[in-house]
Amino acid sequence: MYLKIDHVDKTFQRGSQRTEVLRGITLDIEKGEYVSIIGHSGCGKSTLLNIVAGLTNATNGGIILEGRQVDEPGPDRAVVFQNHSLLPWLTVYDNVRLAVDKVFWKTKSRAERDAWTLHNLDLVQMVHAKDKRPAEISGGMKQRVGIARALAMEPKVLLLDEPFGALDALTRAHLQDSVMALHQKLGNTVMMITHDVDEAVLLSDRIVMMTNGPAATIGDVLEVPLAHPRKRLELVSDPAYIKCRAAVLKFLYERHRYVEAA
């Protein structure tokens, strides 16, 4: 197995106040697999992703990537943040170039790094806006640039924290299609957090459903037996798709209903 989340517990402690957020999370992800994590708000999805990214440390357990334990952040686990987090003082090109320069300063020449930056902007169709600043492009475009920046690092694992959460439905569908095409083309290993049942079923090979906090854990894992490439419109009437969708909905709204003040 490629990426292993091994018995991860997380307890936040401030003073005498302890919040147990995650308990006993174990998950194996294969190379090239697209895994979604779905669960109610506040159950600890972002916390789990941050632990995999190395931005937060697990209280117990750990993350093993290609047989080696990782406990600090690095470009091998590139993150696309929910709110794009592009640096507003850099142009679109420079935002991606910063990552490219940092990762490939030894292995690629200047010209190669320039070409690689443009290549990744081209993957998300953003070359036309390369000299604009983040404030001058739309939300969907920013998210594309965030994805290009992450892809440009050639990460072993791509971590997406609700990458389309802040977008309107149309832009969202459009970006989902782009991400699907990119995954088809590049075969990255992806771990994506989402709130959206359709998004999870459409994009993933497996859907990991988390129980409610506190002390959330993995409630169920659903295989999505749909062949790639998938077509949004054709899926709507596909029995397998409908079954998966129903299973996730059932998990979220029957077995683990969102409880106020959990």
Partner 1 sequence: MNMTVAKKKLTGEVVSLPQPAGAETVVQLPVTGRPVLKKLGAFALTAATNIVPPMIVIALLLGIWELLCSNSGATLPPPSTVWNDTKELIFDPFFDRGGIDKGLFWHLSASLQRVALGYAMAAAAGIALGTLVGQSTWAMRGLDPIFQVLRTVPPLAWLPLSLAAFRQGQPAAIFVIFITSIWPIIINTAVGIRNIPQDYRNVALVLKLNPLEYFYKIMVPSAAPYIFTGLRIGIGLSWLAIVAAEMLIGGVGIGFFIWDAWNSSHISEIILSLIYVGIVGFVLDRVVVAVSSIVTRGTAKA
Select 42 or 219, whichever has its Cβ closest to partner 1.
42
Binding partner selected for residue 74 from partner 1, Mg ion, ligand ATP, none, CB under the kind-specific 5 to 8 Å limit: partner 1
Distance CA 221, CA 206 (A): 7
Tell me how long the chain is.
262
Gap between the Cα atoms of 106 and 33, Å rounded: 29
Q: Least CB distance from residue 56 to partner 1, whole Å?
A: 10
Q: Which pair of tokens denotes residue 34?
A: 């697209």
Of the residues 3, 8, 38, 43, which one makes contact with ligand ATP according to CB under 6 A: 43
71 alpha-carbon distance from chain centroid? 18
For the chain, what is the total number of helices (H) and then of strands (E)? 8, 10
Q: Which stretch binds ligand ATP (CB under 6 A): 37-45, 60-68, 132-140, 228-236?
A: 37-45
Q: Interacting stretch for Mg ion, rule CB under 5 A, among 3-11, 43-51, 106-114, 203-211?
A: 43-51
Question: Where do contacts with partner 1 occur on this chain (CB under 8 A)?
Answer: 53-55, 73-75, 77-79, 81, 83-90, 98-99, 102-103, 133-135, 142, 153
Q: Could you tell me whether strands 157-161 and 189-194 are parallel, antiparallel, or unpaired per DSSP bridges?
A: parallel
Q: Are 190 and 220 in contact (CB under 8 A)?
A: no
Q: Which of residues 197-226 bind ligand ATP (CB under 6 A)?
A: 213
The distance of closest approach from Cβ of residue 63 to partner 1 in the complex, given in angstroms and rounded to an integer, is 14
Determine the Cα–Cα distance for residues 182 and 106; give it in Å rounded to an integer.
26
Q: Find, among 37, 9, 38, 11, the residue nearest to 23 by Cα.
A: 9
| Alpha carbons within 13 A on the beta-carbon side of 76 | 14
Given ligand ATP, Mg ion, partner 1, none, residue 86, with its beta carbon under 5 to 8 Å by kind, binds partner 1
Least distance from C-beta 72 to partner 1, angstroms?
8
Q: Contact, 28 vs 63, CB < 8 A?
A: no
| Residue 77 partner contact from partner 1, Mg ion, ligand ATP, none using kind-dependent CB cut-offs of 5 to 8 Å | partner 1
Of 42 and 75, CB closest to partner 1: 75
Decide if residue 46 touches Mg ion (CB under 5 A).
yes
Binding site for ligand ATP (CB under 6 A): 12, 19, 21, 39, 41-47, 213
